[in-house]
Amino acid sequence: MKTRKITALLLCLLLIASCLLVACDQGGDDTSSGSTGTTSSTDTGNNSGTDAKYLDANGRYWPSYSDSMSESIIGNRTEFRVLVYDDTTEKTYYSEEIEPGKYDTTDARLTEAVTERNNLVSEKLGVEIKAVYTDNVTNTLREAMLVAEGDFDAAMPFLSGCAVLAQEGAFYDLRQFENDGIIDLSAPWYDQNANESLSIQNKIYFTVSDMSIMQKIVSIAMTYNPDLLATKFPDLDLLQMVADKEWTFDKLYEIGREFAGDADGNGTLDYNDNWGLVGATGDAIHFYIGSGEKLCTKDENDNPILAIGEGRSITVSQKILSTLQSNNWVNIAQDLTAQGVTDIWTTSLDIFGNGRAPFRVTAFSAIKKLRSYEIDYGIVPIPLADETQEDYYTSCAASMAYGVVVPNFLTEDDAKFAAYMIDVCSAGGKQYIATAYYDQILKNKDALDVETLDLIFDNVIYDVSIVYGFEGLGTLHSTLMAEKSTDIISKLDSIRDQVNAKIDEIVETYSQSN
């Protein structure tokens, strides 16, 4: 039996034993555990360091600062309807966190957590949380805009869709509701990195919150195969290397290149052979973000400005591009098409899952898929650019993360209700759903290293240019990878004027919005 399966089993047994001890201490009274008959690890007592205005009387995350307004905001409404993606076209990045029970493939603990959150909201407010499913949230939102009505109160488009629709005036500025005291964007259930990166002109038309866990599911890290690594590096302790800040891009290359080779001896390197790293053209930007660099930062007026081209950004980019394109040590998923592969992503995962590469750049969505392989695996952050870098940074595949938005076709009163319910559901999401995904699923079920997960999720970065695109700036590195070019200076110069013009256009649009 594989090490991780033994570890997961032991963790489950310890959890059961702990629960039995608690039940004995409480006299076995199941009614003490809340409405669902289960006790979340964060039900009470674990948020003691949080400001009281972000907790309810039982110590659970809750926007207590707006409790005095809740009755007037809700009125006679009994449902909060959220437009979300179903699995019709999105086979991986569909919503499982608004209404429970739709998919039998959803982790049982996640379903339980969504139920806990929804029950809490129902008990406190008398409002039922409902998902309105569609195969394309962006298109459905745009159609609703045209007729100025829809069968939903709020929506969760992908961030790339949020950026498109925000420029069309589709959303209320969330700052408006914050100014009214209805929400607090500095609350712990909003991602502060997202707030900072996605605001323009100090307006936040969309952001990321714990109403969803998609921002975690599409965060980028690296899986590794400890058994395979041990065949060539028996003394390597990768987790200790990470802890000691010795896990660098150079180390990845130094280790990974030792495993690449023509396994079947036919003289051609393809998906049947061994590789040092399994990745995709889009991974160059993840290594760039992981190095602490950004494509855009902000000026004193909260407007995007080009960051790439300054400091060490070009040198870092050139090194990443040249290393990923050199010495046939990286298997790039998009290259598999020329080899006759139709499902490039499954085949790419197979290379790692079947033990033919020690490393894979991965979104957390792939962790669930790795469970079906007979392989022991762990996870580490994207490596540092070098040992002078102080912190690890995690790139969010931001085009596939969900934003939370209040549609502009709503009346002012309906919009206030939507904003309030986003705040409530995000607080409950942090209390139950985010915790279940992080603690019970990633840490316990998948037996991933706790300290490493903390390093990965402590610094999730959302680059505004990746979300908005900015005339090719957001895909600059992946374009060069696809072209098998490292000439980032020429490519950047070729789009610089268009990028700045697009930024100016968006800034002007937002400056004229109320």
**Model pLDDT for residues 190-217, shown as the tens digit of each residue:** 999 999 999 999 999 999 999 999 999 9
Q: Has residue 104 got a pLDDT over 90?
A: yes
Angle between helices 313-324 and 488-511 in degrees, nearest 10 = 120
What is the predicted pLDDT for the residue at 219? 97
The closest of 339, 362, 353, 355 to 271, measured between CA atoms, is 339
Residues ≥6 apart with Cβ < 8 Å to 32: 26
Query: pLDDT per residue over 12-30, tens digit each?
Result: 444 434 433 333 333 333 2
Residues ≥6 apart with Cβ < 8 Å to 409: 144, 145, 147, 148, 149, 150
* Strand (E) or helix (H) holding 154: strand 154-155
What is the predicted pLDDT for the residue at 514? 60
How far is it, in rounded angstroms, from Cα 121 to Cα 125? Answer: 6
In contact, 510 and 468? CB cutoff 8 Å: no
Extended strands (E) in 226-335:
277-279, 296-298, 304-306, 330-332
How far is it, in rounded angstroms, from Cα 398 to Cα 214? Answer: 10
How far is it, in rounded angstroms, from Cα 432 to Cα 46? Answer: 12
Mean pLDDT of 469-482: 97
How far is it, in rounded angstroms, from Cα 209 to Cα 204? Answer: 13
Here the tokens at position 140 are 């459905």
Residues ≥6 apart with Cβ < 8 Å to 186: 192, 195
pTM for the full predicted model: 0.90
In contact, 7 and 377? CB cutoff 8 Å: no
What is the predicted pLDDT for the residue at 41? 39
Query: pLDDT per residue over 393-443, tens digit each?
Result: 999 998 899 999 999 999 999 999 999 999 999 999 999 999 999 999 999
